[in-house]
Structure 1
Amino acid sequence: MEGMTREKHESLKFYNYLCQKIGSEEVVRIRRLALVIYDIGLKNTITSGSKGEGLDLKGSDIDVMYIDRYFEVYESETEKIVLDSHRLPFVMNTDETQPCYTQLYLITHHQNKKLIFNVSGGLLNVLEMSHLRYVLSSEQYKQYCMSVYCRFKSPKQVHGPCISGGNGEHDFAWCLKCDTWICQAKPWVGRPRTAWPSPELISKIISCGVLFVPIGCKGSINQNIEWRISFSVAENFLIFSFSHTQLLCYAILKILLKELVEKHQDLKGLLCSYFIKTLMFWILEETDLYVWRPDNIIPCFMACLKRLLYCVRYSILSHYFIPENNLFLLRFNTNNKEKIITILSNFYGQGINCFASSETLQDYQNYSDESTESLISRNIRFVQQIMPTFYTIRRMLGADQILRLLYNFLHSSRTGTSRLLFALQIAEASMVVADIYLYPNRSGNKHYYFSYIHVLSHLTIGLNMDALSGLLKLASFLYVHKNYEASLNMIAYILQKCTDEKFDMSFIYQERIVILIQKRVLNLMKKEKLETIMKSLIIHSCYFEQNSSIIPQELQLDVSGMRNVFLPLPFAHFLNFLCYYHLHDISSCKQSLQRLEQVQQRLSHCSTEVFIPDTLNTVICCGIARQLIGDTFIARKDFKVAAALDEYNITSAASRLFNLI
C-alpha cells in the first residue's frame, strides 16, 4: 500500500511538473481557441500540427491546410452531384491504389473542359489523360501551388505535400475535400471499442467528410497522379477530446522522439509525430478512461512506450481509420530497426529518468511540488506560454471579412477567456479594415468626412489589440491626413509607453533575448485581469496591408506588392521625423533621426535571420530620412546594407538604391 501511495505521489508530482513545462489545461484551451478563431476567420482553413493541438514544444510547427473550393470530390458518380460553373467535380478511383490513396477523375459531364491555370512562366496543365479520362495530377497541382506561394514568400523546403515557410515554423498544404465519409473508412464507425471515442464524437467526425492532399504512394507507378486521403479534421477532433493526462502523455512521447531518439542523426525522420498520434488513438480506443488519471501518468506513459517498442519490433502500426494501411510497412531496415529497439528498450528501463538528457524536461529532478506557485508566477508563465500563439496568428491574419463573424461569436461566447480572445481578434480585424479601406473617388467634404470617420472608428477599436501598435497606426493615420501636431502628440505618448517591462513580440522567437518582468509588472499581475495585462504589456510589430491607405506616402513603395511589417520603436521615431520634416522644424527633425539611428544600431547587434524584413525596414527608414534631408551619401549606404541582407529581394532596398544611382 505504501509503495502504491509513493507511485501515485510521484505521478502527481510529474503531472504538475508537466503542466508547468508543457501547459496547464487552461493554457492549452486558450492556445486551441486562438487557432480555432483564426480558422473561423479565414474560412476553408484547417490548422493542425503541434501548436494546433494546443502544444508549444521546442520545434513545434503549425500545419495549415487550405481547402481549395475550386474542386469538389465525390466518392462515386452515383452520388447527387452539384454542378457549379465555378467548380470542377472529381470522382475517386481506388481500383489501382494502395489503402489511404486514390486517383481523382474528372466527372463525365465535364470531359469537354480542360483546366488550365495561368501562372508566371507559362501555362501549367494540372490534368493528365489516363484510361481515356482526365485525372487530376497531384504533382502538377502541387507545383502550381508552389508557384503561387513563392510569389509572396521564399520557402525553405518542400516535403511531401507541404511547403515550409521561410522560418520553418509553418507547413502549408493545399487540399481538396469530399463532404461525405468514404467507404474505406466506414468500418471505423462501428468498430468495437471501450468508451472512446464517444458516439457523439464519431457522429461529429463523419459529418465532416475527408480531405485529399497532393502526394502519391511512394513507389507506385502512378505516384504523380495519386492523392493521399487525409483525416486531419477528424484527428483534430480526437485530440481535442483527450483528457489533460492523455495529452501530456502524447506530448512527452513527442519530446522523447524529437529530443532523444533524433539525437541520432541516422534515425532522424524515421519515426514521426503522426506515428505517435496514431499510436495514442489505438491505445485510447482500447483502454478504460479511468486509467488516465494524473496520479497514474507515469504508468500510462510507460504503457505507451512499451506499445511503441512492440510496434517497431514487429513493424506494424495500422492507420487508425483505414487499418489495411500499415504505416510501418518497409519503414525500417535491419540496422536502424535494431538501433531504435535498443534505444527504446533503454528508455523503457530508465522510466521517466530518460528525460534527464532531454532539453525540455531535464530539470525534473530539481522540481519540488511542495512549494505552491504564486499567483504572480502563474500569471507570468501563463502570458509567456500563450503569447507565441497570438504572435503566430497575428503574422498570418489578413482578412477583413472575419469582422462580422468574430463579432457574432464574441456575443455568443460563454466564458470570459473566449470573449477576450474574440475581442482581441476583432481589434486585429478592425485594424485590417482600416488599413485596406479605399476612399471613394468623389469630391466634396461630406464624402471625405464620412470616410475619415469610418476609418477612425475602426482604428479606435483596434487600440484594444495591444499596448502600442494600435496607437502607432492611429498616429500614422493622422500623419497621412496632415494632422502633424496631433500625430506628434500621439507619438510622444507612445514613446512614453515604450518601457522595458513590455513583452515585445517582435523578439519572441529570439532565444538569447530574455523577457525581464520588472516590479511594475509583478504588481500589475497581482491585481489585474488577463485582459488588462495583455492590453498593457504586449507590443506587436506594426503591420500594414498591401496598398495601405494609412501608411506614410514615403513608405508606399514598401507595401506596393505585399503587406509589410515595421518594428514599433523605430517606426515611432521615423514617424516623428516625418512630422517635424513637414513642419520644417529642422532641429527636432535631426533629433528624431538621431534617435532612429541609435535604435537601428542597437538592432544591428541582433541576428538578422529572424527579423527580415522587420529590421531591414528600419535600415530603409534611416535611408529614407537621410535622403529627405539631402544626405544621399549615407542614404545610399543604408539602402546598400539593407539590399545586401535582403536575400530574397522582398524589401524596397534594391529599388531605392537603384533610384539613387
Structure 2
Amino acid sequence: MERISKWRSESLKFYKYLCQKIGSEKVVKTRRLAYTIRDMGHGQKMISSGSIGEGLNLNGSDFDYMFIDPNFKVYQSESEVQSQCSKNPLITDNEESHPCFTQLRPIDPNTMTVPFNYFQMNYRGNAVFSSELFKLHYKNTAISHIPDLCFGKIHGPCISNQDETIDVAWSLKCDKWINQAKPWISRPRTTWPSSEIISEIVSSGVLFVAIGNKGSINEHVEWRISFSVAEKFLIFSFSHTQFLCYAMLKIVLKEIVEKHEDLKGLLCSYFLKMIIFWISEETETHLWRPDNVIPCFMACIQRLSYCVKYSILSHYFIPDNNLFFLRFSTAIKDKLTNILKDVYKQGINCFASSETLRDYQSQSYDINQSIISGNITFLQQMIPQLGLIRGFDAICTYPMLVYNFLHHSRTSLSRSLFALQISETFMHFTQRTQYPHRSGNKHHYNRYEHDLSHLVIGLHSDAVSGLLKLASFLYVHNNYVASLTVITYTLQKYTDEKIYPTDFRTQKKTFSNIQKHVLNLMKTENLNTILKSVTIHPFVFTNNSPTIPQELQLDVTRTPTSFHPLKFAHFLHFLCYYHLHDLSSCEQSVLRLEQLILSDGFVYMSVPDTLNTLILCGIADQLMSDTETAKLCFQVAAKFDMDNETSAASRLASRI
C-alpha cells in the first residue's frame, strides 16, 4: 500500500511539472480555442493541424495548416453527386490503390472548368485528377495566398517556406465518411471515443491530400485519405493525462531518438498519434489520470517498442494499412528497439538527456501553486503562442469572425480571443483591401473613412503596432500633425515592461522582473486587456498597403516587410517634421535613429528589422541632403543583406 501511495505521489509531482513545462489544462484549452477562432474566420476553408493546432508548443513545433480547395467536391460514386453541384465533382477509385490511398476521376473530363482542367491527365487510357499537377500549381501560386510561402518548396503533401517552419497542404473534401474506414465506426472498444465523438467525426467527412503511396506505380495520380479533422476531435477529447503522454512521446522522439543521425525521419509524430489512439481505445478512461501519468507513459513506450520490433503499426482508421511495412532495416530496427528498451528501463529519468524536461529532479513543484505564480506561468506560456497565431499571415475574413463572435462566444475567454483576432484582422484587412479604380472626391473620402475605421478597430491588437499603422496612414494622407500626435502617444507607451511575443519563441526569453511585476498588478484583468496592454507584435507592411509611406514603396514589393516598431516610429517622426519644414526636429529624429543603430551594434545585422533600420536612416540622410552618410548606410545594409531582401542594392544602383 505504501509503495502504491509513493508511486501515485511521484506521478502527481511529475504531472504538475509537465503542466508547468508543456502546458496546464487551461493553457492547452486557450491554445486550441485561439486556433479554432482563427479557423472560424476562414469559414470551412482552413484547418489548423499538427502539434500547434492540437494545443502543443514544444521546441521545433511548426505551423501546419490545411486549406480546402472550394472549387472541388469529392464523392464515392456518381449516384452521390448532387444534381445542382456548382463545384467540379470528382469520384474516388480505390481499385488499384493501397489502403488509405485512392485515385480521383472527373465524371466527365470535358465538363471540368478552366483552369482546373489543367490538373487532368490521361493515364492508362482514363482521365485522372493528378495529385502531382495539383501540388505543383499551388506551389507556384502559394505566395498569393500566404506571402510567407515566398520561394516555397514541396515537402510531402505540403508547400513549405524556406526554413520549413510553415507547412500548408491544399486538400479536397468529401462530406461523407469514406467506405474504407466504415468498420472503424462500429468496431469493439472500451469507453473511448464516446459515441458522441464518433458521430461528430463521421459527420465531418474526410479530406484528400496530394501525395501518393511511396513506391507505387500510380504514385503521381494517387491521393492520400486524410483524417486530420477526425484526429483533432479525438485529441481534443483526451484527458489532460492522455495529452501529456502524447507530448512526452514527441519529446522522446525529437530529443532522445533523433539525437542519432541515422534514426532521423524513421519515426514521425503521426506514428505516435496512432500509438496513443490505439492504447486509448483499448484502455478504460479512468486510468488516464494525474496520479497514474508515469505508468500510462510507460505503457505507451512499451507499445511503441513492440510495434518497432515486429514492424507492425496499423493505421487507426484503416487497419489494413501497416504504417511500418518495410520501414526498417534489420540493423536500424535493432538499434531503435534497444533505445526504446533503454527509455522504458529508465522511466522518466530518460528525460535527463532531453532539452525540454531535463530539469525535473532539480525543480520543486507545489501542487497548491499560488494564484499569482499560476497567472505568470499561464501568460508566459500563452503570450508566445498567441503571438504565433496572430503573426501568421493567412488573414481571416472579418464578417465570418463577427458572425461566430455573436453566435458562438459564450465565455469570457472566448470573447477575449475573438476580440483580439477581430482587432488583428481589421488592422491587416486595411492592407489587403482592393478598391475599384475610380476617381473623384467622394470615392476618395469613402475609401479614407473605410480604411480609417478598420485601423481604429485594429488599435486594440497590441500596445504599439496598431497605433503605428494608424500614424502611418495619417502620414500617407498628408495629415502630419495628427500623425505626430499619434506617434508621440505611441512613444510614451513604449516602456520597459512591454513584451515581444516572438522573442519568447525565437530567443527563448523569459519575463524580466519588471514584466512579472506588471503582470502581477494586472492579474485580475482579462486576457484581452493584458495582451493589448503589454505586447508588441511585429510591425509589417504588405505590398500595395494604403498605409505605406511613399518613401518606403521600394522596400515593400513582393513579400511582407517588417520594421522595428520603435525605429519606424522615429523615422515617421522625421518624415512628418520634414514635410512641416521643421529641420531642427528632423535632425533630432535622425540622431535618435543613429543612436538606436549603434546600440544594436553589428551582432544583429543579419536580422531584417536591423537592416531595414539602416535603410530608414539612409533615406532620412538622403532627404536631408547628406548623401555620403546615406550612401554609407546603404552600403552597410547591402553588405549584410546576403539574400538581397532589402532595397539597399537598388538604392545604391540609383547613384545617390
Deviation per residue, 1:62-97 (Å, 9 max, x gap): 211111122221112222345656x32211111111
Residue 403 of structure 1 contacts residue 429 of structure 1 at CA under 8 Å; is this kept in 2?
no
Structure 1 residues 58-69: aligned runs within 5 Å: 58-69=59-70
Structure 1 distance, partners of 2:461, 2:192, is: 40
Deviation at 1:295, TM superposition (A): 0.6
Residue 34 of structure 1 contacts residue 389 of structure 1 at CA under 8 Å; is this kept in 2?
no
Deviation at 1:138, TM superposition (A): 1.5
Matched, 1:240 2:236: yes
Among residues 646, 651, 657, which one is paired with 2:652 in the alignment? Answer: 657
Structure 1 distance, partners of 2:440, 2:151, is: 45
Deviation at 1:567, TM superposition (A): 1.8
Secondary structure of 2:654 counterpart: helix
Residue 467 of structure 1 contacts residue 536 of structure 1 at CA under 8 Å; is this kept in 2?
yes
**Paired residue for 1:231?**
227
**Paired residue for 1:136?**
129
Residue 475 of structure 1 contacts residue 487 of structure 1 at CA under 8 Å; is this kept in 2?
yes
Matched, 1:544 2:537: no
**Paired residue for 1:31?**
31
Where structure 2 has 5 or more consecutive residues not aligned to the other structure, the ranges are none
Secondary structure of 2:78 counterpart: coil
Structure 2 distance, partners of 1:279, 1:438, is: 48
Deviation at 1:16, TM superposition (A): 0.5
Q: Decide whether aligned partners of structure 1 residues 47 and 514 sit closer, same or farther in structure 2, where only a CA change above 3 A counts.
A: same
Structure 1 residues 575-586: aligned runs within 5 Å: 575-586=572-583
Structure 1 residues 174-193: aligned runs within 5 Å: 174-193=170-189
**Paired residue for 1:206?**
202
Q: Decide whether aligned partners of structure 1 residues 194 and 527 sit closer, same or farther in structure 2, where only a CA change above 3 A counts.
A: closer
Where structure 1 has 5 or more consecutive residues not aligned to the other structure, the ranges are 118-123
Residues matched between the structures, number: 650
Secondary structure of 2:506 counterpart: coil
Residue 260 of structure 1 contacts residue 357 of structure 1 at CA under 8 Å; is this kept in 2?
yes
Matched, 1:217 2:210: no
Q: Decide whether aligned partners of structure 1 residues 408 and 316 sit closer, same or farther in structure 2, where only a CA change above 3 A counts.
A: closer
Deviation per residue, 1:219-265 (Å, 9 max, x gap): 11111111111111111111111110100010001101110111111
Residue 410 of structure 1 contacts residue 419 of structure 1 at CA under 8 Å; is this kept in 2?
no
Deviation at 1:592, TM superposition (A): 0.6
Give the residue type in structure 2 aligned to 1:243: S
Q: Decide whether aligned partners of structure 1 residues 638 and 241 sit closer, same or farther in structure 2, where only a CA change above 3 A counts.
A: same
Residue 376 of structure 1 contacts residue 525 of structure 1 at CA under 8 Å; is this kept in 2?
no
Structure 1 distance, partners of 2:647, 2:83, is: 47
Residue 180 of structure 1 contacts residue 206 of structure 1 at CA under 8 Å; is this kept in 2?
yes
Structure 1 distance, partners of 2:118, 2:67, is: 21
Q: Decide whether aligned partners of structure 1 residues 642 and 64 sit closer, same or farther in structure 2, where only a CA change above 3 A counts.
A: farther
Structure 1 residues 354-369: aligned runs within 5 Å: 354-369=350-365
Structure 2 distance, partners of 1:540, 1:132, is: 55
Deviation at 1:216, TM superposition (A): 1.0
Matched, 1:256 2:249: no
Structure 2 distance, partners of 1:413, 1:352, is: 40
Structure 1 residues 96-495: aligned runs within 5 Å: 96-108=96-108, 110-111=109-110, 113=112, 116=115, 125-149=118-142, 152=147, 153-155=149-151, 158-370=154-366, 372-399=368-395, 401-406=397-402, 408-410=404-406, 412-437=408-433, 441-444=438-441, 449-495=445-491
Stretch of structure 1 that moved more, 50-59 or 362-371: 362-371
**Paired residue for 1:121?**
none
Deviation per residue, 1:114-133 (Å, 9 max, x gap): 8657xxxxxx9432212322
**Paired residue for 1:533?**
530
Q: Decide whether aligned partners of structure 1 residues 604 and 33 sit closer, same or farther in structure 2, where only a CA change above 3 A counts.
A: farther
Residue 106 of structure 2 contacts residue 112 of structure 2 at CA under 8 Å; is this kept in 1?
no
Secondary structure of 1:111 counterpart: helix
Deviation per residue, 1:171-203 (Å, 9 max, x gap): 111111111111101011111111111111111
Residue 175 of structure 2 contacts residue 206 of structure 2 at CA under 8 Å; is this kept in 1?
yes
- What is the RMSD computed on CA atoms of the aligned residues? 2.4
Residue 407 of structure 1 contacts residue 426 of structure 1 at CA under 8 Å; is this kept in 2?
no
Give the residue type in structure 2 aligned to 1:20: Q
Q: Decide whether aligned partners of structure 1 residues 400 and 184 sit closer, same or farther in structure 2, where only a CA change above 3 A counts.
A: closer
Secondary structure of 2:91 counterpart: strand
Structure 2 distance, partners of 1:657, 1:77, is: 62
Give the residue type in structure 2 aligned to 1:580: Y
Deviation per residue, 1:477-529 (Å, 9 max, x gap): 22222222222222122112211211123533332655424164254244544
Give the residue type in structure 2 aligned to 1:594: L
Residue 543 of structure 1 contacts residue 563 of structure 1 at CA under 8 Å; is this kept in 2?
yes
Structure 1 distance, partners of 2:93, 2:252, is: 39
Deviation per residue, 1:34-70 (Å, 9 max, x gap): 1111111123111111111100011111211111122
Deviation at 1:105, TM superposition (A): 1.2
Structure 1 residues 37-56: aligned runs within 5 Å: 37-43=37-43, 44-56=45-57
Q: Decide whether aligned partners of structure 1 residues 587 and 622 sit closer, same or farther in structure 2, where only a CA change above 3 A counts.
A: same
Residue 156 of structure 1 contacts residue 167 of structure 1 at CA under 8 Å; is this kept in 2?
no
Deviation per residue, 1:251-300 (Å, 9 max, x gap): 00110111011111111111110000000111111110110110111111
Stretch of structure 1 that moved more, 411-420 or 271-280: 411-420
Q: Decide whether aligned partners of structure 1 residues 144 and 657 sit closer, same or farther in structure 2, where only a CA change above 3 A counts.
A: farther
Structure 1 distance, partners of 2:78, 2:312, is: 35
**Paired residue for 2:618?**
623
Stretch of structure 1 that moved more, 627-636 or 309-318: 627-636
Q: Decide whether aligned partners of structure 1 residues 303 and 189 sit closer, same or farther in structure 2, where only a CA change above 3 A counts.
A: same
Secondary structure of 1:509 counterpart: helix
Stretch of structure 1 that moved more, 546-555 or 408-417: 408-417
Deviation at 1:615, TM superposition (A): 3.3
Structure 2 distance, partners of 1:301, 1:287, is: 13
Structure 2 distance, partners of 1:453, 1:116, is: 37
Secondary structure of 2:423 counterpart: helix
Residue 540 of structure 2 contacts residue 561 of structure 2 at CA under 8 Å; is this kept in 1?
yes
Secondary structure of 2:80 counterpart: coil
Residue 401 of structure 2 contacts residue 418 of structure 2 at CA under 8 Å; is this kept in 1?
no
Residue 427 of structure 2 contacts residue 466 of structure 2 at CA under 8 Å; is this kept in 1?
yes
Secondary structure of 2:159 counterpart: strand
**Paired residue for 1:120?**
none
Give the residue type in structure 1 aligned to 2:110: Q
Give the residue type in structure 2 aligned to 1:19: C
Structure 2 distance, partners of 1:551, 1:540, is: 17
Residue 543 of structure 2 contacts residue 557 of structure 2 at CA under 8 Å; is this kept in 1?
yes
Secondary structure of 2:316 counterpart: coil
Residue 546 of structure 1 contacts residue 559 of structure 1 at CA under 8 Å; is this kept in 2?
yes
Structure 1 distance, partners of 2:82, 2:224, is: 22
- Matched-pair identity in %: 57
Secondary structure of 2:364 counterpart: coil
Q: Decide whether aligned partners of structure 1 residues 112 and 156 sit closer, same or farther in structure 2, where only a CA change above 3 A counts.
A: closer
Deviation at 1:19, TM superposition (A): 0.3
Give the residue type in structure 2 aligned to 1:105: R
Secondary structure of 1:215 counterpart: coil
